Amino acid sequence: MAYTFNPFTSNLDYFQIASSGSSAFQLPLSGAVNGTNQTFVWAKAPNVIVVDGVPYIATSQDGTQNWLGSTTTVFQNIAPNSSIFSPC
């Protein structure tokens, strides 16, 4: 069991240490965080994206589509104002 400080939420987040050497979270490789940009490119396809402190999955249980795109290029429905990252 391991915890890391999350500078975006000021919480200690649990993460599983993987043998592949992955980090606890990833930032997008490209895409401006400016409240209007909705396109982000990731090194690894995200399962969860945290936008301004709120976690989202691609499709919510109620059927809401939160993002579209290929495996690493994501088109967010919600443009982040202050932060975006993906827990690995």
Q: In the chain, what is the greatest distance between 2 CA atoms, to the nearest angstrom?
A: 37
Q: Which of 17, 9, 20, 24 is nearest to 54 (CA)?
A: 9
What pTM was computed for the model? Answer: 0.70
State the pLDDT confidence band at 71, using cuts at 50, 70 and 90: confident
29-39 pLDDT, tens digit per residue, is 999 999 999 99
Span 45-61, average pLDDT: 91
Query: Which residue has tokens 């976690």?
Result: 55
Domain segments of the chain: what residues?
Answer: 22-87
Tell whether the model's pLDDT for residue 7 goes beyond 90: no
